[in-house]
Structure formats: C-alpha cells, structure tokens
Amino acid sequence: MDSYLIVGAGLSGLATAKFLGGSVIERGEIGGFFLRDDYPVNGIRGSSLVRDFMDAKMIRGTAFEANEEGIWVLSEEGSRFLKGIAIGANGFREKTLLELRIFGFRPAGIFPFYAAWELVNRGYQLGERVVIYGFNHYSLSLATKLRTDVTFIRGSGSLVHDEGEALDRGFNLIKGRVKRVEGKGRLEVLKIDELDMKADALILAELSPWNPLNLKHIVGNAAMIIEDPAKIVEAAKIFSESVLSNSFIEVISDIPCFPKKVASDLGRVIVGVGRGASLRVDGKAVVVDEPYPILEIPRREKVKIEVV
C-alpha cells in the first residue's frame, strides 16, 4: 500500500510526490508540459525545474476509477486496485469549440493545445498562418517553437507575460473573440468579432482545470490554472503540508485561489491574480506585488478573499 497515489507525472504531480513521499501514476511521458518548456517565467525555466523532481516512485498505467480507499489502474499487466489516498494532478484541459462558442464548419487544421504541443515538439509544422486562441505562458512557449507566422487572439490574457513580450518576438496580437471557423477541407478563414482573417491552423489554448476522476484532493493545474512553474511547486508544497491536517481554514472566494481548505497552522494560500491587484482578505485591504501571490490568512474557521 502507498500512503499517497498521485495521478499525473507533470511538475505538480512529481513535486507533490516528493513532498509527501508518495507514488505517481502515469501512462505517458514523465515531466508533462514542463519537460520541454524552455520559455522563462521570472528567469526560471520549467524544463530546468522539472528535472529536480524526476526521481519520484512511478507506477506505469492509466488511473480510470477511484474511491475513498484507492485507485483502479490499467496497465499492460491488466487492471489492479491500489490502496491509498488519491490525489489528482492531471493538469489542465483545453476549452472546446462549443465552450468557446465558436461555430461554423469543422475543417482540418484545428488543434487542442496539447495535441499541437506534442506535434511541434516532434518536429511537425502545423501551418503557414497559425492563430492561437488564448494568450498565456503555455501558448507563448508553444509559439516560440513555431517557425511560421503566429497571431494570438488574446482571450483571457496572461498573469505572467505582458502583450509587449509577444510583440517584441514578432508575434501578432488581436483583442477579440473567435466566433466562426470556415473551410472546405482545411481551415481557411476565422471570423474574429467583425474581422475576417485568413488562417490555416487554429490552436485552442483557453484552459480550464481538469479533474476527470472527480477526486477530493487535487493540486496544481487540476485545481487552478497556474502559469508560473515555481508557483506550481509552491502550491504542491502548501497542499502537501495541509493534506492530512485535522484542522482547516475554509477559504471563500469568487476568484481563483488554492487550496480552498488549508491547514489552520499553515494559513497560506495562492491567489490567481496579477501584479498590482487590490484584494480584501477578511475585510483587510491588500495590494499584491507579484502574480500568483502567496497570502497569509487569519487563523479563523472561514476566511473571505475578494477583489476590491
């Protein structure tokens, strides 16, 4: 029996396994996105950071069902049940065309982010006129690997990179929303608000947290989108220090924050806002000086965090 079973061997899962001494369940490549992420955030490259956690104990297979006692895993040897505390570190998923309210035809040339990331890292080119819907660290890192014309549709924007970075690297950036895709065999035209734009590849990079097994315990991008790899490691540490506490602070917030239940003796959370954001923590005004700030919260039963 392993005390902790972490689903997903990306940076968050590997870091959580190291802090807790647990095992990581993974069917694919160890390291996840950050294994090949060479674009720095505050001088730190995810590809360098992830190597510090590659010595985790691995269980090769696919986790397909979980309950309070453990996880079912499918591997080449068949299925088996592993007892332990299940922790989800599956990362994010891409929002679908339907969620993004993009209508029209369904031609070739439309890629979910992870499919595009895998293809590009294997040496494939996706098109000559590539549009990336969603401006964030993950999509910007992908764009730096493309050897073609790239246009970002800003969408929700990034907390760690400003638009000037994209422009300085020769990328185009449009503020707006993709409403329709058109093309017979291959993507030909995107309607962006009232603008018609020629394109032969569209990458969907608006992201959402992902918890496919509906696990009680989740960490990293499975709980909240975090663009900074160093803060992903910090979130794993905060989670690991809180997971077995018998006394919790419940965090009530309408903005992204992690964890929503933190150990009373720890009293720290990561909040998904950018530099300069004005917050109110249980009535006390706080102005943050960095993206994804780590806030000390009062040791109370419930704490409310809101944007001013």
- pLDDT, one tens digit per residue, over 242-253 is 887 889 999 999
pLDDT at position 107 is 87
pLDDT average, residue stretch 229-254: 92
Class of domain 95-207: alpha beta
Please state, in angstroms and rounded to a whole number, the distance separating the CA atoms of residues 136 and 274: 12
Whether 2 has a pLDDT exceeding 60, the answer reads no
Predicted confidence (pLDDT) per residue in 252-279, tens digit: 999 999 999 999 989 999 999 999 999 9
Please state, in angstroms and rounded to a whole number, the distance separating the CA atoms of residues 127 and 150: 10
**Region(s) of the chain under CATH 3.50.50.60:** 1-91+210-244, 95-207
Omega before residue 293 within 30° of 0, cis: no
CA distances from 246 to 85, 214, 217 (A): 15, 22, 15
Determine the straight-line distance between the first and last CA of the chain, rounded to whole angstroms.
47
Is CATH 3.40.50.20 the right assignment for the domain spanning 1-91+210-244? no
The pTM of the full predicted model, rounded to 2 decimals, is 0.95
